[in-house]
């Protein structure tokens, strides 16, 4: 699987973006039918950790908003997206790619002053993070510099390219590079849980909290699948509420069209996102614990919820995909 991904990222710059999107749309239509029994909901992921006392204030579920800022265009739309959420009394985290585009100190400062969170999203977004441990260690050193400079608690790997044991090299309180189920990702093996879990280094005993996203990414729904409503989010959210899990969403300002602007090939109207947020507030008002990812991670760490999800995650979710099965078998040996 990793060799296939290396080849993809090697050839990617040579393929026109419009052709990339066209091909991915064709592929995902086939995949969506093939994986309909495990996406967007995999029933096996709904089990709560043993002894879980519940969310603070007796809330039924946790509600967490995160964004990956992949390009300069996305960066330039960050404050507009923050305005949307702030007007609704909500806050989120924004994850930036330090060496891919120019990042404004004003944007970072403004976000923090307004109660939002800032995180690091790799360095280049070039798909090479898992090429070798040596390369990752080299990049981890630089990532740690930005984590310190921006006073960040969390990290998310570009394209969810994760090796959780390697992430102990990062000075983080939490990582958000996984998902409960998402067979459309380059590394499609999910964690098989809709709850956070603690990842412990066997050698050093260092720990961080893993926060898998549990609601489908906007790029998948609105760009690749070309959906024109938020029904998939609503359906999955209802299931998450039923199981008392963590509703963590990952969206991108890069693909949102603001102020009524016409949508380009890779965009969707921001009001889709606004409609979903209103749905959460109107349907589940008073039932959710809305929290920044760093605060959720600190809560989970204080509880000591080390349920060994990291040790058995790959075996919990057996996707009907040969590459996934081989990856799980390899990592479980």
Closest to 177 (Cα-Cα) out of 257, 95, 243: 95
User: 30-35: long-range contacts at Cβ-Cβ below 8 A with a sequence spacing of 24 or more?
Assistant: 31/183, 31/184, 32/225, 34/183, 34/320, 35/183, 35/319, 35/320, 35/321
Flag whether pLDDT at 327 surpasses 50: no
Mean pLDDT in residue range 35-61: 95
Question: Tokens 């080390």 identify what position?
Answer: 306
Greater pLDDT, 124 or 8: 124
pLDDT of residue 16: 85
Residue 168 contacts by C-beta under 8 Å, 6 or more apart in sequence? 199, 201, 204, 206, 208
pLDDT of residue 320: 35
pLDDT of residue 53: 87
Flag whether pLDDT at 173 surpasses 60: yes
Greater pLDDT, 318 or 325: 325
Mean pLDDT in residue range 304-322: 43
DSSP H stretches of helix in 187-321: 218, 231-242, 270-284, 293-303, 309-316
pLDDT of residue 18: 87
Flag whether pLDDT at 315 surpasses 70: no
Tens of pLDDT, residue by residue over 254-312, are: 999 999 999 999 999 999 999 999 999 999 999 999 999 999 999 999 988 554 444 34
pLDDT of residue 51: 84
Please state the pTM of the whole predicted model.
0.90
Could you give the domains of the chain? 2-332 (3.20.20.370)
Greater pLDDT, 36 or 324: 36
Flag whether pLDDT at 135 surpasses 80: yes
Q: pLDDT band at residue 127, thresholds of 50, 70 and 90?
A: confident
In the chain, pLDDT over 90 holds for what percent of residues? Answer: 79
Flag whether pLDDT at 333 surpasses 50: no
Is residue 141 classed exposed, middle or buried when 0-12, 13-18 and 19+ CB atoms within 10 A define those classes?
exposed
Closest to 119 (Cα-Cα) out of 127, 111, 129: 111
Length of the chain: 333
Q: Would you put residue 244 in left (φ > 0), alpha (ψ -120 to 50) or beta?
A: left
pLDDT of residue 224: 97
pLDDT of residue 318: 34
Flag whether pLDDT at 321 surpasses 80: no
Least confident of 4-13, 39-48, 137-146: 4-13
Least confident of 28-42, 96-110, 118-132, 232-246: 118-132
Flag whether pLDDT at 220 surpasses 60: yes
pLDDT of residue 129: 85
């Amino acid at each position: 699987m990793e060799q296939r991904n290396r080849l993809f990222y090697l050839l990617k710059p040579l393929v026109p973006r419009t052709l990339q999107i066209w091909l991915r749309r064709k592929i995902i239509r086939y995949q969506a039918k093939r994986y309909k029994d495990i996406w967007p909901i995999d029933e096996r992921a709904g089990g709560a950790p043993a002894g879980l006392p519940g969310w603070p204030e007796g809330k039924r579920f946790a509600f967490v908003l995160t964004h990956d800022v992949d390009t300069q265009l996305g960066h330039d739309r960050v404050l507009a997206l923050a305005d949307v959420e702030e007007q609704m009394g909500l806050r989120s985290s924004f994850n930036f790619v330090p060496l891919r585009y120019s990042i404004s100190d004003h944007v970072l400062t403004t976000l923090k002053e307004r109660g939002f969170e800032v995180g690091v999203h790799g360095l280049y977004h070039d798909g090479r993070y898992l090429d070798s441990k040596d390369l990752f260690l080299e990049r981890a050193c630089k990532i740690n510099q930005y984590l310190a400079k921006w006073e960040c608690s969390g990290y998310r790997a570009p394209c969810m390219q994760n090796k959780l044991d390697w992430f102990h090299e990062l000075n983080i309180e939490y990582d958000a590079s996984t998902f409960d189920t998402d067979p459309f990702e380059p590394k499609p093996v999910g964690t098989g849980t809709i709850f956070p879990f603690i990842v412990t280094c066997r050698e050093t005993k260092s720990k961080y909290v893993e926060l898998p996203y549990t609601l489908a990414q906007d790029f998948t729904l609105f760009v690749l699948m070309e959906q024109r409503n938020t029904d998939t989010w609503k359906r999955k959210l209802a299931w998450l509420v039923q199981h008392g899990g963590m509703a963590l969403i990952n969206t991108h300002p890069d693909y949102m069209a603001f102020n009524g602007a016409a949508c380009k090939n890779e965009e969707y109207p921001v009001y889709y996102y606004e409609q979903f947020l209103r749905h959460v507030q109107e349907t589940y008002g008073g039932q959710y614990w809305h929290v920044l990812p760093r605060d959720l991670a600190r809560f989970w760490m204080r509880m000591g919820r080390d349920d060994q999800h990291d040790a058995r995650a790959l075996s919990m979710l057996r996707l009907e995909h040969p590459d996934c099965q081989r990856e799980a078998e390899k990592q479980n040996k």
